[in-house]
Structures are given as structure tokens and as C-alpha cells.
Amino acid sequence: MNSMMNKAVLSFVFSAIFVSNTLAAAPVEGDIERPNIILLMGDDHGWEETGYNGHPDLKTPVLDDMAATGLRFDRFYAAHPSCSPTRGSVLTGRHPNRYGTFYPGYSLRPEEITIGHLLGKAGYLRGHFGKWHVGTVKSGSPTNPGAMGFDQWVSHDNFFELDPPLSRNGGPPTIHKGESSSVVIGETLRFIKRARTQKKPFLAVVWFGSPHEPYSGLPEDLALYDDLPVKYADRAPVSLTSNETGRRVKRPLGEVLRERYAEITAMDRAIGTLRDYLKGEGLRDNTLVWYCGDNGTPFNSVLASPLRGWKGQVYEGGTRVPAVIEWPARIPVPRASKINAVTSDMLPTLCALADVSAPNDRPLDGINLVPLFDGKLDERPSPIFFWGFKSRKGLKSDPKPWIDPKWQEGTTPLVKFLGGIRTRNFQNYHHPDIIESDYNGARVMLGNRHKLVIHDGKVDGDPNVELFDLRADPAEKTNLAEREPAIVKTMQTQLRTWQQSVLKSLTGADYGK
């Protein structure tokens, strides 16, 4: 039995590490022209927080319909259990540790090649709308959406609530009156009209500010959840940001969930507005609409999840997120996929669909999912890795910034105080040398069946090693590490080899530095 499992683990070829050599785009099959592409992302929207995944309270009729009529991913993952790193993975197809986007508030590096750059080569008009959070959005920033390959942007450095302050193409932020998801979709529709006028295919990256706390909602959306304060009156209060003060406050769970769920329902409705527009304009058939979350549900809002953990953790509850694709021309009948997929897969997949080559001068961590769309992928050919890097910033004196700090200073205001300010600044540092402790941090290898989880320093300084059979144990309750040492050893070796590749990238080697 162990031998068979060992062979299965060994089948996860190391080509995942240097997958860029095999991901050059193939022409789109059949007579379907290159699709328009819309990438939608909720902020802190966990896997269980949809009606179609069985949530007892949430109302998400639009996402439920997309899941019922399109391609539903049952095992889709954010590349990191927090937002900025995951967003970097969407843009680059690479694990965020490769370019120093370790945590929220760490920027991209200007040398990264993004899906915006690549689809521009294929003639796409490219726009970004909503939360950016991989650098500042102001004019002149080397990591604003324009520098990262987008023609147009109406964006925020971080998250936002009702009446969001957004920067248009790098200008000073201005207030956009309205419910934030509706505002962002309104800007997206104007962009689509511009693309049609120019007779160009379009890429719209739409990153909502919802449902990130602090929460707020329209009266009609809040009314849908008026029963929750009473329903959950026996639950302990939770800590979150106050909309009034911008600082932490404790409030009853039922009240908090009422507002959070109102935001999710409003986001769902805004996606419906987008779908209705595409249908009315004859664009729906050949427009790929891809929705996902950026990490798991925050600790203070986990309610009905069958998964272990929450945002910030490498267990399933921190990284598995809702994901659906709607593209009637290519996916004409409903399907559900149980194949592991991750946000890093977006870039190589979209390159293939746009008939443009993915980068071949640096390692990618995502794979091309087009065969999955066509029902020709039975299982993922390479593993997915997760890693919470332990930054050495606090251990080194005067780490060298990768970007001039003046360009890392945010401009778009938000409610939540951090470091005494109501904006967000960013950072990214040089790592010219690699030391043994750089391999530390919570880290994971996810195979088609088994998941290896390693945490540091649990017993006598040795790593705490866990092995789960996710197909039999999706809640990660039974640690098989002692029972299956051969599988653990093989997966540890593969994980370490992948980390070596990532740390080489972190030094700047991918840029010839």
C-alpha cells in the first residue's frame, strides 16, 4: 500500500517548478475567437460563504446560478491565505514569495511580467477596477496598474466601503457615491463600452472591496438578515474595525454577520448587473467571467465552514475559496470540477486562450487549465505549494528597499487605522543572500490526494509535520504522518526543492540580478 502511494506522490513531477518551459500558449481550438475576459475577486470571501456551497444564511442567487450553469470549482485555492500575495499570483502566475510579496502591504516588483503586459501583446484593452493592494495606484508609481500593464484603472490602494474614494488613472482620489460593488461594476461597464468602440477584445480585472471589514450595507440588503442578531445572540462578541473610529471594537456576532452578509449580497447583485449587460449587448457567449475569493473567511466571521482553519492559515479554511467560470461558447453545459486549481493558474490559462506565449525566462507556478475546460484533464499534473514566508526585515539592520519608499506611500484613504494613518504604504526588500532560516514558515505541498503541512518549532525545535488524505478527510482531522513516513519523506523533498527555486527567484535571479 505504501509503495503504491509513494509512486503516486512521485508522479508529481518537478516540472511544476520550471513549468514556464512547457506553458507556451497553444492556439485556441475550434472556431471560437479569442474571448473577452473578466476576472472578478471578492475580498476575504471564503469557500463556504455562498448559497451553492450550503451556507445556512447567505443569499447569493447570482453566484448560485453561475455555479449551476457554468464550471464550478470545488477545489479552487488562493495562492496564499491573505490578499496581497494572492493578487500577485493572479497577475504573474507565480508564487508571491518569488518577488517578495509576502503579506498584505508588500508590493510587487516592477520587473514582474503580468497578465496585463501579456494580453496587451495580443491586442486586448486592459482595465483594472477596485482593490489593487500590490503597490500604490498613484501616478508615477512603478507598480501602479498602468506600470503593470493596464491601459485604464479606477482603483484603490487597499479596501473600501460605501462611497469609495478611488483614483482614476493615478490621479488624486475622489469619492464615488454609491454601494462600492455597484460603483466598481459601473466603471467596468464604461470600460467595456470603450473596448467595443475601439473594436478590441478586453481584459477587465475587477477586485471588489467587499466583504472585507469594516462592514456596511444598504438598508435593503441589511433587511435580508435582520434575524441574525437574535439567531446568534448566544455567540461571543467579535473584534473588528469600527466604521466610526477606525479602531478595534467588540460587537455582537449577529450584528457583524448581518452587515458582512449584506455586503456579499450586494456584491452578488453587482455581478448580476454585469451578466445582464453582457447578455443584453450580445457579449455573454464569448466572454469568460471568472469569479473567486482571495483567501479564506476571517476568524471573526467563520460560521458554517466544514473546513479547518481561516484566513491567515494554510489549512483548507484559509486557502480554499469559491470559484466559478461562465463562458457559454466554450463551456456550454454545467460542470463541476474536483481537480485542484489555484489563482496562479490564471495567467498561463489566459495566455493560452489569447494565443500569446507565457513568460519563458522565469519559473511559473501555475498551469494551463484549458484542457480542464474541455473535459480533457483527469487530474492535476503537478502539485500546488503554499508558503507563509517569515520576513527577515525585523532581523536585519537597514534592509535595502527594492523600490524608492516615496513611491510606496499610498494616497487613497480608508477607514481602518494602521500605524497611525488611514492610508496604506507598501514595502519590498532585497534578499541578496539566502540563509537556512529563510526556509521556515508554514508551508504546504498539496497533491491530488495528500496534503503535507509543516509548521516550525512545535516540539524541541523540530517542525510539526502533518499529512492529510483530503479525499477521505477534507476537514483535515486525521494526521497520517506517522502512519505514512514514505509519503511524508518524498513530499518533504519535493517541497524543499520547490522552496530552493522560490528563494533563487527572491534574490532577483529571474531578472538577471
399-449 pLDDT tens trace: 899 999 999 999 999 999 988 899 999 999 999 999 999 999 999 999 999
144-160 pLDDT tens trace: 999 999 999 999 999 99
Q: Quote the pLDDT of residue 170.
A: 98
Q: Quote the pLDDT of residue 31.
A: 38
Bridge partners (DSSP) listed for residue 249: 240
Q: Quote the pLDDT of residue 463.
A: 73
Q: Distance between CA atoms of 296 and 312, rounded to whole angstroms? A: 8
Neighbours of 396 (CB within 10 A): 11
Is the pLDDT at 26 greater than 90, yes or no? Answer: no
Q: Quote the pLDDT of residue 399.
A: 85
Is the pLDDT at 4 greater than 50, yes or no? Answer: no
Rg of the chain over all Cα atoms, to the nearest angstrom:
22
Q: Reduced to 3 states, what is the DSSP secondary structure of residue 298?
A: coil
Q: Distance between CA atoms of 113 and 143, rounded to whole angstroms? A: 11
299-328 pLDDT tens trace: 999 998 999 999 999 999 999 999 999 999
DSSP class of 19: G
Q: Reduced to 3 states, what is the DSSP secondary structure of residue 155?
A: strand
- Give the DSSP H/E element, type plus range, for residue 506: helix 485-506
Q: Distance between CA atoms of 201 and 195, rounded to whole angstroms? A: 7
Q: What separation in angstroms does the CA of 376 have from each of 339, 368, 372, 380, 460?
A: 12, 12, 6, 11, 47
Kind of pairing between the strands at 341-342 and 248-251: unpaired
Q: Quote the pLDDT of residue 391.
A: 74
Q: Distance between CA atoms of 359 and 303, rounded to whole angstroms? A: 41
In this prediction, residues 225-250 reach a mean pLDDT of 96
Percentage of the residues of the chain whose pLDDT score is greater than 70: 91
- Give the DSSP H/E element, type plus range, for residue 467: strand 462-469
Residue of 216, 218, 188 whose CA lies nearest to 202: 188
Q: Distance between CA atoms of 178 and 183, rounded to whole angstroms? A: 6
Degrees (nearest 5) of the Cα angle 77, 79, 83? 105
Q: How far is CA 91 from the centre of its chain?
A: 10
Least confident of 5-14, 188-197, 420-429: 5-14
Percentage of the residues of the chain whose pLDDT score is greater than 90: 88
349-386 pLDDT tens trace: 999 999 999 999 999 999 999 999 999 999 999 999 99
Q: Quote the pLDDT of residue 250.
A: 97
Any residues with CB less than 8 A from the CB of 65 and at least 6 apart, and which? none
Q: Quote the pLDDT of residue 323.
A: 98
Residue of 344, 329, 322 whose CA lies nearest to 288: 329
450-466 pLDDT tens trace: 999 999 976 556 679 99
Is the pLDDT at 247 greater than 80, yes or no? Answer: yes
* End-to-end CA separation in angstroms for the chain: 46
pLDDT band at 397 (very low <50, low <70, confident <90, very high): low
Q: How far is CA 102 from the centre of its chain?
A: 13
Output the average pLDDT for the chain: 92
Concatenated DSSP letters for 98-145? Answer: GGT--STTB---TT---HHHHHHHTT-EEEEEEE--SS--STT-TTST
- Reading the block at residue 62, the C-alpha cell is 447570482
64-110 pLDDT tens trace: 999 999 999 999 999 999 999 999 999 999 999 999 999 999 999 99
Does 2-225+258-387 carry CATH code 3.40.50.620?
no
Q: Quote the pLDDT of residue 21.
A: 36
Q: How far is CA 481 from the centre of its chain?
A: 29
**Domain residue ranges in the chain:** 2-225+258-387
Asked if 8 contacts 469 with a C-beta cutoff of 8 angstroms, the reply is no
Any residues with CB less than 8 A from the CB of 249 and at least 6 apart, and which? 239, 240, 241, 242
Is the pLDDT at 501 greater than 60, yes or no? Answer: yes
